[in-house]
Amino acid sequence: MNKPPEKQKSALKLTTFFGEEDILVQQENLHRNALIRLMLEHLSKRHGFGDVDAYYNAVIERENTENTIIADGIAVPHGRIDGLSKPLVCVATSEEGIQFHAGGGKPVHLVLIVLIPRDQPAFYLQILRALATIMRDPDAPKDVAMMKTAHEVMKYFERSGMTLPSHICAADIMVEPSIVLHNNDSLKTAIDCFISKNVSEIPVVDRDGDMVGVVSAGALLRVCLPDYLLWMSDLSPIINFEPFANVLRKEQSAWLSDILVTTYSGVQVEAPAVSVAAELTRNNSSRCYVLNDKKLVGVIDLPVFLNKVFRE
């Protein structure tokens, strides 16, 4: 007899992790640190975890080193806690706005403190994805901050239908490429970038923005030192950098299309994060490029990936 099809797990709503009692409205004339402590103390009383001081210090230390403002007017301080079975969220609003960073910037009107189980790192990134609805509307933080009751704020979150994605994908981890070269750029352009930007690998795209390969400092050295030289046990005839001089003579007339490497670690933008890890491991690579079809849209460096999974 055929088994009935298994029911798919229903997607988690952001409101699964907080209720009206976890919403503090109209928190005015508070310093950032005072608000964070107030929210943590509130969560502790509601859900019975201890050592608020330790969690407060951990959250503030992160705030002082990382920017948790995810969009204009919205901040999401967060921390990892041993012993939690699911994330805990506290929401606070401020119509006047709270300055979150000493360096200035726009005030924050909507704050969500997120505490996640230490051994479930994906939850924080999933919650950020769920908040995309608010982040797309620049007026939303101020609109929510003008609401007078926790009931109104809760209804807003429920109406918005903020749903956690089933998994974390490359788009949640990537950053925009800081440097991109084109296949018709000269070797000189690449050398200048390696030196001025202190990088060892740069993605290369064509005129349509499609990724065609990478150029690396190692590839540049291979141009200077072809294979037959590397096999020579006595390099004394070229100790005055003659091969490098040859490259310098033609650096403005040699094109990246002649030296780029077409094999690199890459995934599609919706690929699960575990696919990123597999791609980095398979290729013994420290960088993975994120593509939308053939278009280069992001970069994931191994230290960033490790921080997202193990620390953030």
Q: Examine the fold and report which residue of 109, 139, 164 is the final residue of a domain before the chain moves on.
A: 164
CATH number for 211: 3.10.580.10
Residues 126 and 78 in one domain: yes
Residues 32 and 122 in one domain: yes
Q: Is residue 4 part of a domain?
A: no
Please count the structural domains in the chain.
2
pLDDT confidence of residue 59: 87
Residues 126 and 222 in one domain: no
Residues 119 and 63 in one domain: yes
pLDDT confidence of residue 104: 67
Q: Which residues of the chain have pLDDT under 70?
A: 1-10, 102-104, 221-254, 312
pLDDT confidence of residue 5: 47
pLDDT confidence of residue 276: 93
pLDDT confidence of residue 1: 43
Domain membership of residue 143 as a residue range: 14-164
DSSP secondary structure string, the chain? -PPPPPPPPPPPBGGGG--GGGEE----S--HHHHHHHHHHHHHHHH----HHHHHHHHHHHHHHS--EEETTEE--EEEETT-SS-EEEEEEEEEEE---TT--SPEEEEEEEEEETT-THHHHHHHHHTHHHHT-TTHHHHHHT--SHHHHHHHHHHHT-B--SS-BHHHH-B--S--EETTSBHHHHHHHHHHHT-SEEEEE-TTSBEEEEEEHHHHHHHHS-HHHHT-S--GGGTT-HHHHHHHHHTTT-BGGGT-BS---EEETTSBHHHHHHHHHHTT-SEEEEEETTEEEEEEEHHHHHHHHHT-
